[in-house]
Amino acid sequence: MSPARPARKVTKKAPAKKPARAARAKAVAVLAKPAKKGNAQRVYSFEEGNASMRAILGGKGANLAEMSRIGLPVPPGFTITAATCIEYQKLGQFPAGLEEDVWTALAALEKKAGAKLGDSANPLLVSVRSGAAVSLPGMMDTVLNLGLNDATVEGIAKASKNPRFAYDSYRRFLTMFGDVVLGLPHHGFEERLNRLKARLNVTQDTAIGAADLKALCQEYKAYIQEKTGKPFTQDPRTQLALAIEAVFASWNNKRAITYRDLNKIPHDMGTAVNVQMMVFGNMGDDCATGVAFTRDPSTGEKVFYGEFLQNAQGEDVVAGIRTPQVISKLGNIIPAAYKQLVAVAKQLETHFRDMQDIEFTIMRGKLYMLQTRVGKRTGFAAVRIALEMLDEKLISESEALLRVSPDNLNQLLRPIFDSKEKAAALKNGKLLAKGLNAGPGAATGRVVFTADDAVEWHRKGEQVVLVRDETSPEDIHGMHASEGFLTARGGMTSHAALVARQMGKVCVAGCSSLRIDGKAHAFAVGDHLVREGDWISIDGFTGEVILGKMTTLPSEVVQVLVEKRMHPSMAPTYQLFDRLLRMADKVRRMKVRANADQPDQADTAIAFGAEGIGLTRTEHMFFGPGKIEHMREMILAENEAERREALKDLLPLQRADFEGIFRAMGSKPVTIRMLDPPLHEFLPHEEKEQRQMALLMGIGLNELQERIAALRESNPMLGHRGCRLGITYPEITEMQARAILEAAVRVKRDGVDVHPEIMIPIVGHASEFVHQEAVVRKVAEQVFKESGTKVAYLVGTMIELPRAALTADEIAKHAEFFSFGTNDLTQTTLGISRDDAASFLGPYMESKLIPADPFATLDQAGVGQLVQMGTQKGRATRKDLKVGICGEHGGDAESVKFCHRTGLDYVSCSPYRLPIARLAAAHAVLEEKQKAK
């Protein structure tokens, strides 16, 4: 079971999309440094900048400058600042003086390059690239070979002694310039190239000779004139100015704005523009271009990892015509440059103290570094790299922790296929194809061919695998709805691979044996046809595509911790996971607890590091045969006497459950919530069940149905539930308190230092709490007297109504602890019923009216305000008030950090979210320390 190879990007076709959180953090960091105003320097040569100038020069520019600064072979160039972009946005034109600055910088560049822009004898060609402080997909990315015109192309031909190379460069430039600077449709160029190839009867671009390429360039220029009404500009300075302006303008194109809105990136950052001398990897066999990672971004292994193409330009890697070679082979082809590249890679990793993702070109045997940046990695790799770099003393423990995002840990918990079932499937010839293992995990689902279909099927409750030639940003909604993606084209560098890793989806990419017929809603491999709706299974760890539905199984970590069917020593991933979390545990201030309703869940919670139980929902214990009947009798009782009779039967069942949980948790605190949901949730809704129930109770079906109808509510969420039930029927609270305390007494007698915490739900007024607390304490006194054993226990409340948070000072006079029930608090604060939200919350998120699902990530501005208020007011009354959170937000990293900042004592979440909570709680401490510096 080896984790997948990662994806990465080479050109604009596959824009890097940072996770929203990182982007936001960076955006904030950038904003913290005020941009210089007025006559600040607008243009920096690479030698003038450094890595710390990210806000001014953008990420790409700052790193190019840094590489120059430390003496690496970077083609010379200069960067126009991001602030200048904003000036441009405001003015609608270049600010006064900018052109002069550019020409001055260009002159210096020309001097270093020993060539001149537009000099037909010795022409300088440049690339123009955007580069914001935060990576932004959707912006104009790159124009290569700028500076070519009808004269300089001849100069290049002469200088390179390769007219074909010169005209190939020219037609590439015309295409890029026409497409991204002039905004002409790309297919206009594509069609003309294809017509030419048809006429020449060739299939490969490389088969076109210099003369034909020259003619193609003429055609392209004619096309540009036809479409723009003006001839293609032969003036390289005009070309450069237009390209710079196009980069500036792309900052505010629709996709970029949407992306910024979605990721809360400020709109006033702007993008820098990098102008750099062109170097060519396609001038012969002593040339190459490639990308590499300083460690394996998929497994985290410390090996130099990457791919390259000999005699090629970067964009050729994506075009998919030639398959890149693994980087080590470069040592056989251009040994000196490779040796240097390995050394540079090592230097860069040591210098930047993180795994780097680099781009390089070798021109006539000479190595040029074109980019370096922190490499994206899988969750597996993130953990391994962080811990190994720590062992190498490259980074500190704090840094190691911060290198792993809490959500990364999800990947280590991701499912795998049942190995026997898979082996059988493979033996039975179910292996359909093999692609790249681009997104780790195991997924099974029904085939769909469009993003819309994925959403549609998903809405119907189906699990789907999205199959496409390649994916694009337009497919994101469908990718969200899918278990995994299978693509025919694109490799580890593809959009699908990238997104898979970010979303934590399974991906098998570049499965070239697939022939997809989108119109027929089917794909074929050989003569095997797979239609829409058929089941397939994809293994994102191995790249295998298997016919049919397969069972997915828990991850290695889960097998060690939960299922205990793997020994830790056999589980290297588990060992890394465990080590990292132990480090996190040393750092975090907040405790973590789990929500668990049954003894077995308590065991799992302990395995995942729970330091207590933050929420036991007693009502979950009432379901299941042998229990629900008594519960129903209790609910349908006509009077207190009948109710007490039914409660008597429920008491031993509840007590047994509590006893099991107390034994599992030992001396750790266990918070038990009293009966919470509206009673009719427990009632039989089908007539068959109703008949049985009526029989059991010795009443007629009609009468039973009448009693059920009487319990029906218009808005059960806001109805007769929680402590309202306990107040109108105190005998329910009495029974539950008795079950809890009798169980606690039994366990304590066996020497366990049990710590029950009894939690009263849906309290809105302090008087409600006082009422229920009195019932509990009275029962406790009785139980202690009867048993002769006393147990220390607390009585506290859930803060899950706005009024409770608003009057927390009053409630804290009586309650010994608070636990924020952020699920219900979100429902009431936002006035949104989770059960009914689908009809509008989906559209809301799609149209960015709200940034995230408030039931997944805490709405800090609204609900969070009440959490802060409730905590402050509660502690104002009772200084040592224990405060926690037990909504589902307790397992969301951003929400956990918010809880830390708010001063909560603990978060409680489902056992499987505990790793995220533990690491996020540590991050919160470390980020606080960073901020304090």
| Residue ranges that bind its own copies, judged by CB under 8 A | 713-720, 724, 727-728, 762, 764-765, 767-768, 771, 800-803, 806-807, 810, 824, 827-833, 835-837, 839-840, 843-844, 847-850, 859, 861-863, 865-866
Query: Closest CB to its own copies among 190 and 836?
Result: 836
Sole residue written with tokens 């490639």: 290
Query: Closest CB to its own copies among 180 and 808?
Result: 808
CB–CB of 593/611 below 8 Å?
yes
Phi (first) and psi of residue 599, to 5 degrees: -55, -40
| Cα distance from N-terminal residue to C-terminal residue, the chain | 43
**What type of residue sits at position 74?**
V
Cβ of residue 498: shortest distance to its own copies, in angstroms?
Answer: 29
Cβ of residue 865: shortest distance to its own copies, in angstroms?
Answer: 5
Cβ of residue 358: shortest distance to its own copies, in angstroms?
Answer: 41
85, 217, 495, 909: the catalytic one is 495
Query: Closest CB to its own copies among 374 and 774?
Result: 774
Cβ of residue 603: shortest distance to its own copies, in angstroms?
Answer: 33
DSSP sequence for 868-891 = HHHHHHHHHH-TT-EEEE-SGGGG
| CB burial string 626-662: b at 16+ within 10 A, e below | ebbbbbbbbbbbeeeeebbebbebbbebbbebbbbbb
What is d(CA 660, CA 621) in angstroms, rounded to the nearest whole number?
A: 12
**Order of strands across the sheet with 522-525?**
515-517, 522-525, 528-531
Query: Closest CB to its own copies among 824 and 888?
Result: 824
Cβ within 8 Å of residue 681, ≥6 positions away: 619, 716
The beta-strand segments (E) located in 147-283 are 271-277
What is d(CA 237, CA 246) in angstroms, rounded to the nearest whole number?
A: 14
Query: Closest CB to its own copies among 553 and 832?
Result: 832
The CA-CA-CA angle for residues 541, 544, 549, to 5°, reads: 100
Query: Closest CB to its own copies among 326 and 849?
Result: 849
Nearest C-alpha neighbor of 452 from the set 472, 475, 432? 475
Cβ of residue 512: shortest distance to its own copies, in angstroms?
Answer: 41
Cβ within 8 Å of residue 640, ≥6 positions away: 729, 731
Query: Closest CB to its own copies among 623 and 840?
Result: 840
Nearest C-alpha neighbor of 373 from the set 179, 129, 584? 129
Cβ of residue 858: shortest distance to its own copies, in angstroms?
Answer: 12
CB–CB of 540/4 below 8 Å?
yes
Cβ of residue 629: shortest distance to its own copies, in angstroms?
Answer: 24
Classify 532 as helix, strand or coil: coil
Instruction: Determine the length of the chain.
Output: 933
Sole residue written with tokens 């490969």: 204
Nearest C-alpha neighbor of 20 from the set 926, 894, 897, 659? 894
- Helices then strands (H, E): number in the chain? 37, 31
Cβ of residue 861: shortest distance to its own copies, in angstroms?
Answer: 6
Cβ of residue 463: shortest distance to its own copies, in angstroms?
Answer: 23
Query: Closest CB to its own copies among 570 and 838?
Result: 838
723, 886, 899, 909: the catalytic one is 886
What is d(CA 55, CA 35) in angstroms, rounded to the nearest whole number?
A: 8
Beta-strand pair 755-760/794-799: parallel
Cβ of residue 899: shortest distance to its own copies, in angstroms?
Answer: 18
Which whole-number Å values give the CA distances from 650 to 525, 628, 631, 777, in the listed order? 59, 9, 7, 20
Cβ of residue 801: shortest distance to its own copies, in angstroms?
Answer: 4
The enclosing H or E element of 900 equals helix 893-902
Largest CA distance in the chain: 106
What is d(CA 242, CA 228) in angstroms, rounded to the nearest whole number?
A: 14
Cβ of residue 689: shortest distance to its own copies, in angstroms?
Answer: 20
What is d(CA 857, CA 877) in angstroms, rounded to the nearest whole number?
A: 29
Which whole-number Å values give the CA distances from 615 to 136, 863, 896, 907, 908, in the listed order? 41, 20, 16, 10, 7
Cβ of residue 859: shortest distance to its own copies, in angstroms?
Answer: 7
- Under DSSP, the state recorded for 123 is B
Cβ within 8 Å of residue 632, ≥6 positions away: 682, 683, 684, 693
Q: Dig out the tokens for 307 from the structure.
A: 């791919």
Phi (first) and psi of residue 558, to 5 degrees: -65, -40
Q: Dig out the tokens for 931 from the structure.
A: 């901020």
Which whole-number Å values give the CA distances from 726 to 675, 757, 763, 913, in the listed order? 8, 17, 11, 31
Active site residue 495: yes
Question: Cα torsion for 292, 297, 301, 303, to the nearest 10°?
Answer: 0
Chain CA centroid to CA 235, Å:
45
Query: Closest CB to its own copies among 151 and 806?
Result: 806
**What type of residue sits at position 584?**
A
DSSP sequence for 834-870 = GGGTHHHHHHHHHTTSSSS-TTTS--IIIIIHHHHHH
Catalytic positions, written as ranges: 495, 886
